[in-house]
Amino acid sequence: MEGAILAIGNELVQGKVRNTTSFWAAQRLFLSGYKIKEIITIPDDLQLIKEHLSLLVKRYPFVIISGGLGPTTDDVTNQALAETLNLPLETNQEVLTQIRAREKDLGLRPNPLRERMAALPKGAQPLTHTKAMAGYLIRYAKCLLFCLPGVPKEFLYLLEEKVIPLLRKHLPPSQAISSLTLKIFGLREADINLELQDLEEENLNIGYYPQLPEIHLTITALGKSEEEAHQRLQEALGKIKALFGEYIFGQNGDTLESVVGKLLSERGETLAVAESCTGGLIASRITRIPGSSSYFDRGVVTYSNQAKIDLLGVSKQCLETHGAVSKATALAMAEGIRRISKTTYSLSVTGIAGPTGGSPRKPVGTVWIGFSCPQGTVAQCFLFPGDRQLVQDFAATTALDWLRRYLTYDTLLPSYKFLRNC
């Protein structure tokens, strides 16, 4: 089953914004059994949109259009659709009511530009009635046209929740497909690939999507029936899990912080963190998760030495003898935050994120991570690659993954590729 994507926006052809939504859509659709044959990216240009649209609606059973639905005067997608399909633009009362309600909620003055967003080609069916976002389906001859906002978050929500289910209903794919994404931390893409290359065959495809420091693998199985596709997927998953077991931290929508949060909730246990070079990143990731207040008690970002002394009771002597980036300081930070917060566990991080501050003995990327639990307190030294931001991301991810490995496998000192002998 083949289709096309028409991505509209001056910013996309001027290289100001990456066309990530088309990339995600092509990927998600491919994994759902739909092949995208053309991705056309053009500016907010009425004539050009009409030319491409009139070709695409003849050629494909479905077309996904993104962008140009906003309130500003450069947004012309609705007009282009109406003129191409020879349909009048009509004010959609439901959409207008939503826009006015939202203006009222937010205490905004009515804005005629915003109301333009309710003028849709006749027959357009809004894709969502519950969320304040543009997006509609319109049928033309044998073609389903999905018009989505260019805003990535809204585009992805509608793609996943509305477009793919509607495609499955109206244009069921010829082969059954079963697919799952595994999330891995601690292995390299090329090493995973080397181990898995014999697993791929005509009906089993593996996609590699590095999201550093994580690697995401999408495994897609085809079959004559749902059962066959499902069975083929499960067999492959069994082999992959046997190979990479503890490196796999989750699947599909999981994040490391959601997995850790779920484990802590289930066990009724609590966590506190003491961060230096990660600067609050671990606490911030943990508290992105709804309900984290039930297991996350507190965090401290002890950037200065004085803060480590004041807030964590690290001794001045320890900092002077061993330095802020040392095993002794990492242990004292983990013990200090756990002692004052009385949580089940604590994590501590102290290191050199760069770009300055490195030395031959402690180069940029050197990070000590400490972990304290009822069994005791331990610390390990790591050397992470990349720039400041990547070192911070690696350190935060490793700390969270360490806790996950302890909660899942009881491993007090898990092994990682980035461990450094200090």
Residues 187-246 that bind its own copies (CB under 8 A): 188-191, 193-194, 197, 205, 207-210, 218
# binding residues, its own copies (CB under 8 A):
97
Residues 135-194 within binding reach of its own copies (CB under 8 A): 151, 188-191, 193-194
> Which range binds its own copies by CB under 8 A, 282-290, 328-336, 371-379, 399-407?
282-290
Instruction: Look up residue 336 and give its amino acid.
Output: G
- Of 209 and 409, CB closest to its own copies: 209
Do 323 and 329 contact (CB within 8 A), yes or no?
A: yes
CB 409 within 8 A of CB 248: no
Per rule CB under 8 A, is residue 316 in the interface with its own copies? no
Exactly one of 8, 19, 214, 333 binds its own copies (CB under 8 A); that residue is 19
Binding of its own copies by 14 (CB under 8 A)? yes
Least gap, CB of 193 to its own copies (angstroms): 4
Residue (138 or 283) nearer to its own copies, CB? 283
Q: Which stretch binds its own copies (CB under 8 A): 7-15, 241-249, 373-381, 407-415?
A: 7-15
- Of 191 and 235, the one with the shorter C-beta distance to its own copies is 191
> Of 153 and 168, which has the nearer Cβ to its own copies?
153
Minimum separation from the CB atom of position 330 to its own copies (A) = 17
Residue type, 338: R
Residues of this chain, 294-313, that bind its own copies according to CB under 8 A: 296-304, 306-307, 310-311
Residue 111: count other Cβ atoms within 10 Å of its Cβ. 11
Taking the complex as a whole, how short is the minimal distance between the CB of residue 123 and its own copies, in angstroms? 26
Cis-peptide, bond into residue 355, ω within 30° of zero:
yes
Judged by CB under 8 A, the residue of 101, 108, 412, 413 near its own copies is: 108
Which range of residues in 9-17, 167-175, 226-234, 368-376 is near its own copies by CB under 8 A?
A: 9-17
- For the chain, the straight-line distance linking the first and the last C-alpha, in angstroms and rounded, comes to 57
- When asked if residue 349 is in the footprint of its own copies (CB under 8 A), the reply is no
Backbone angles phi, psi at 357, to 5 degrees: 100, -5
Q: Which of 106, 169, 174, 410 is close enough to bind its own copies by CB under 8 A? A: 106
- Candidate ranges 87-95, 228-236, 291-299, 315-323; the one touching its own copies (CB under 8 A): 291-299
Which positions from 322 through 341 interact with its own copies, judged by CB under 8 A?
340-341
Amino acid at 420: R
**Looking only at residues 37 through 76 of this chain, which bind its own copies when binding is defined by CB under 8 A?**
37-43, 45, 48, 70-74
Is 392 a residue that touches its own copies (CB under 8 A)? yes
Scan for tokens 């140009």, then name that residue: 68
26 binds its own copies (CB under 8 A): yes
Query: What would the DSSP string read from start to end of 257-286?
Result: HHHHHHHHHHHT--EEEEESTTTTHHHHHH
Contact 30, 114 (CB under 8 A): no
Distance, in Å, from the CA atom of 244 to the CA atom of 184, rounded to the nearest integer, reads 8
Name which of 35 and 239 has its Cβ closer to its own copies: 35
CB closer to its own copies, 115 vs 246: 115
**Which listed range, 101-109, 136-144, 242-250, 259-267, lies at the site for its own copies (CB under 8 A)?**
101-109
By the 8 A CB rule, do 204 and 215 touch? no
Cβ partners under 8 Å of residue 125, min gap 6: 136, 137, 138
15 binds its own copies (CB under 8 A): yes
**Alpha carbon distance 29, 176 (integer Å):** 13
Pairing of strands 35-42, 2-8: parallel
Stretch that binds its own copies, among 14-22, 87-95, 161-169, 403-411 (CB under 8 A): 14-22
Q: DSSP letters along 108-157, please?
A: PPP-HHHHGGGEEETT-EES-SSSS---EEEEETTEEEEEE-SSHHHHHH
255 scored as a contact of its own copies (CB under 8 A): no
Cβ-Cβ contacts under 8 Å for 347 (sequence gap 6 or more): 271, 273, 274, 282, 334, 369, 370, 371, 372, 399, 400, 402, 403
